[in-house]
Amino acid sequence: MSVLVNIAIVVASIIGMEIFAWAIHKYVMHGPGWGWHESHHTETHGIFEKNDLYAVVFSFIAAGCFIFGSMGHSWLWYVGLGLTLYGILYAIVHDGLVHRRLPFPRKARGRYMKRLVQAHRLHHAAHTKDGCVSFGFIWAEDVRKLKTDLKANMAVRGQNLQIEQAD
Ligand SMILES: [Zn+2]
Ligand SMILES: [Zn+2]
């Protein structure tokens, strides 16, 4: 039974982390934390970008879960495992498949993975703090809806956006 509980904690942590990351991306990174995140919406020079500091902060949270988890609160250890697995998924999908920062051997295959890549490219269609769409990393809304939202956001800002065809 406890194995099932532990698996449930790991899965819940991965889902919870996507919701948390979505909120942080929308309200912090595209808000008061734009100073770090801007580097990810502009041309990158070199291997690292300032935005990677967010991943460092999250890895400290996961490390804290492992440390306190091994001191008697074992459920916290499994939360740490969920956060770590989320970080690996994020690296594969976001840095590997979408941004090609990691030497990822293959392109996105399958309907959902293609949608995920297209949705995040639409997030990057705007290089500004405001007006962006699609803030999730492993969950993506319907691409047609995102394009409509993005065009509406740009129209409000008086910009005419050319959305490049992402495949
Ligand atoms: Zn962003
Ligand atoms: Zn990105």
**pLDDT digits 0-9 by tens, 76-92:** 999 999 999 999 999 99
- Dist. CA 47–CA 41, nearest whole Å: 15
Using alpha carbons, select from 51, 32, 25 the residue that is nearest to residue 133.
25
Give the per-residue pLDDT at 166.
47
Give the count of alpha carbons within 13 A of 20, CB side only. Answer: 13
Confidence of residue 154 (pLDDT cuts 50, 70, 90): confident
C-alpha 73 – ligand 2 centre gap (Å) = 34
C-alpha 84 – ligand 2 centre gap (Å) = 19
**pLDDT digits 0-9 by tens, 96-144:** 999 988 887 778 888 999 999 999 999 999 888 999 999 999 999 999 9
The answer to whether residue 159 scores a pLDDT higher than 80 is no
Pair 34, 150: CB distance under 8 Å: no
The answer to whether residue 161 scores a pLDDT higher than 70 is no
Nearest ligand to the CA of 34 is 1
C-alpha 25 – ligand 1 centre gap (Å) = 6
Give the per-residue pLDDT at 160.
61
C-alpha 37 – ligand 1 centre gap (Å) = 7
| Residue ranges of domains in the chain | 2-156
